Structure 1
Amino acid sequence: MMNFKDLEISDEIKKAIGSMGFDSLTPIQEKAIPEALKGTDIIGQAQTGSGKTIAYAIPIISKIFVPDKSPQAIVLCPTRELSMQVASEISKVAANIKKLKVLAVYGGQPIGKQTRVLKKGVHIVVGTPGRVIDHIDRGNLDLIGIESVVLDEADEMLEMGFREDIETILANTPHQRQTLLFSATLPKEIKQIAKNYQNNPKFIKIANKRKNIPKITQYAFRCDIKYKFNSLTRLIEAYDVNLALIFCNTKKSVDFVFKHLKKEDFKVDSLHGDMTQQVRDKVMNKFRNGNIDVLVATDVAARGLDIANVDVIINYDVPQNIDDYIHRIGRTARAGKTGFAFTLISKDEISRFNNIKNDKRIKITEKELPTLGEVKSIKIAKVLDDAGSVIRGADLNDYIKILKNESKYDNLELSAALLKMIMEK
Structure 2
Amino acid sequence: MNFNDLNISDEIKSSINQMGFDKLTPIQKLTIPKTLGGSDLIGQAQTGSGKTLAFGIPVVEKIFTPDRSPQAIILCPTRELCMQVAGEIEKIASEIKKFKVLAVYGGQPIGKQTRVLKKGVHVIVGTPGRVIDHIERGNLDLIGIEMVVLDEADEMLEMGFRQDIELILTKTPPQRQTLLFSATIPDEIKQIAQKYQKNPKFVKVSDKRDNLPKITQYAFKCNIKDKFEGLTRLIDAYDVRLALIFCNTKKSVDYVAKHLKKQDFSVDSLHGDMTQKTRDRVMNRFKNGNISILVATDVAARGLDIDNVDVIVNYDVPQNHDDYVHRIGRTARAGKTGLAFVLVSKDEINRFNTIKNANSTKIIEKELPTPKQIRNIKNRQTLKSAEVIIKNENLEEYIDVIKEYSSNKDYLIVAASLLKMMREN
Fold shared per TM-score above 0.5: yes
TM-score, normalising length: structure 2? 0.95
Q: How far 1:360 sits from its partner (Å)?
A: 5.0
Q: How far 1:212 sits from its partner (Å)?
A: 9.4
The CA distance in 2 between the partners of 1:108 and 1:361, in whole Å, is: 39
Describe the superposition over 1:174-232 as per-residue Cα deviations: whole angstroms up to 9, x where unpaired: 12211111122222222222222122222222223239932211111122222221111
Aligned partner of 2:421: which letter?
M
Describe the superposition over 1:269-306 as per-residue Cα deviations: whole angstroms up to 9, x where unpaired: 11111111111111111111111111111112112321
Other-structure match for 2:392: 393
Other-structure match for 1:15: 14
Q: How far 1:167 sits from its partner (Å)?
A: 0.9
Other-structure match for 1:313: 312
Aligned partner of 2:293: which letter?
V
Change (3 A) 1:164 1:421: same
Change (3 A) 1:36 1:351: closer
Other-structure match for 2:99: 100
Q: Secondary structure at the match of 1:210?
A: coil
The CA distance in 1 between the partners of 2:208 and 2:357, in whole Å, is: 18
Aligned partner of 1:84: which letter?
M
Aligned length: 424
Q: How far 1:105 sits from its partner (Å)?
A: 1.1
Change (3 A) 1:204 1:354: closer
The CA distance in 2 between the partners of 1:289 and 1:360, in whole Å, is: 32
Change (3 A) 1:188 1:251: closer
2:27–2:50 CA contact under 8 A, matched in 1: yes
Aligned partner of 1:387: which letter?
A
Other-structure match for 2:206: 207
Give ranges in structure 1 of 5+ residues lacking alignment: none
1:45–1:206 CA contact under 8 A, matched in 2: yes
Which is worse superposed, 398-407 or 103-112?
Answer: 398-407
Other-structure match for 1:374: 373
Q: Secondary structure at the match of 2:55?
A: helix
Give ranges in structure 2 of 5+ residues lacking alignment: none
Aligned partner of 1:317: which letter?
D
Describe the superposition over 1:384-424 as per-residue Cα deviations: whole angstroms up to 9, x where unpaired: 01110111012223433454567889544443233122212
Percent identity of the aligned residues? 72
Q: Secondary structure at the match of 1:358?
A: helix
1:212–1:362 CA contact under 8 A, matched in 2: no
1:245–1:295 CA contact under 8 A, matched in 2: yes
Q: Secondary structure at the match of 2:195?
A: helix
1:246–1:313 CA contact under 8 A, matched in 2: yes
Structure-to-structure mapping, 1:130-279, within 5 angstroms: 130-210=129-209, 213-279=212-278
2:208–2:360 CA contact under 8 A, matched in 1: no
Other-structure match for 2:331: 332
RMSD over aligned Cα atoms: 1.9
The CA distance in 1 between the partners of 2:232 and 2:248, in whole Å, is: 18
Other-structure match for 2:120: 121
Q: Secondary structure at the match of 1:132?
A: helix
